[in-house]
Amino acid sequence: MARFVRSCIRVGRLAATSLTIASLLTSSAQAATLKPETVSAFNYYVRLTEARMDAEINNGDFLILDSLPADRRASTYVSVRGGAVYIEPLHTLDNGDRIRIPSGMIHHWAGVAFIPGANLAQSVAVMQDYDDQAKCYAPDVQVSKLLAHNGDNFKIFLRIYNKSLITVVFDAKFDIYNTALDDARIDSRSRSTRVSEVANPGKSNEHELPVGNDHGYMWRLYSYWRLEEKDGGTYVQIETIELSRSVPPEFEWFVGPLIESIPRRTLTKLLTATRLAVLNQINPK
């Protein structure tokens, strides 16, 4: 009897979770509009974040590992050189206070990986091979194209595929600005200039939803790459700032863990794929 009761409880919890997921997906399927005040708050968040980045470059904390406490910094460097990928969530504050994003949510994460035996030039060459990124980052990137190139600046197109609870596809354009700081370090900043959600991707009735009037899964995506050659290889760091619609309060308890787990998996996959692409380039089979 007790076993039967426990079984019923488990079934009831599973059913409740399934209903919650169904309700969440139904809610998420509703249209969302990107509001001017949301964009303004996002831009302010980015300005403060980039000011912090500039300060880090000037004071020598080039990688996020450099800002860790001394004992943790040393052990984390050893772990990353051993093949681990370091990931952490970030939050830019305004005089110690969280920045409110009306009708929106910011997802801000950073990660670091190490490519043993690779120099800076080899790593940069792979990173800037934009026509080949669909191969390096499949299935998350389905199409990649270099649209324009002027010196160290690039314009690219990516078709981005994301599957978690639901599958979403985006067509996105980015402006990329690269700055070589010295012979061992490069700073690269990628800002989305257009992000459109694709409805019915791969079907005869495929089409883009109106920009900023879609489901609000991703409205902006800014990525900041830093590469540093040292310790017999090259460290690769990526910091991402993504803007999406806000989560309805009744779903925060359920979505919270997903907001934590999905970016960790995504950045880990991205950095691992980058390392593998560089290693395959310098050590072809």
pLDDT at 8: 41
Query: Which is nearest to 113 in space by CA: 223, 263, 276, 241?
Result: 276
* 198 bridge partner residues: 169, 208
- pLDDT tens digits along 203-245: 999 999 999 999 999 999 999 999 999 999 999 999 999 999 9
- Written as six digits, the tokens of 146 are 């270099």
Phi, psi of 214 (to 5 degrees): -135, -140
Phi, psi of 175 (to 5 degrees): -100, 130
In which band, very low, low, confident or very high, does the pLDDT at 22 lie, cut at 50, 70 and 90?
Answer: very low
CA proximity to 102, closest of 16, 159, 37: 37
Q: What stretch of H or E contains 250?
A: none
Tens-place pLDDT, residues 131-160: 999 999 999 999 999 999 999 999 999 999
Instruction: Output the pTM of the full model.
Output: 0.88
**To the nearest whole number, what is the mean pLDDT of the chain?**
88
CA atoms of 47 and 53, how far apart (whole Å)? 10
Where do the DSSP E strands lie in the chain?
Answer: 32-33, 86-89, 93-94, 97-98, 104-116, 141-150, 153-163, 167-180, 185-199, 207-208, 213-214, 220-230, 233-245
> What is the average per-residue pLDDT within 181-192?
97
Q: Hey, what long-range contacts does 6-12 have (CB within 8 A, 24 or more apart)?
A: none
Q: Which of the four pLDDT bands, split at 50, 70 and 90, describes residue 259?
A: low
| Residue 47 pLDDT grade (very low, low, confident, very high; cuts 50, 70, 90) | very high
Domains of the chain plus CATH, in order, are: 34-282 (3.30.530.20)
Phi-psi bin for 117: left (phi > 0), alpha (psi -120 to 50), beta?
left
Q: DSSP label at 131?
A: G
Polymer length in residues for the chain: 285
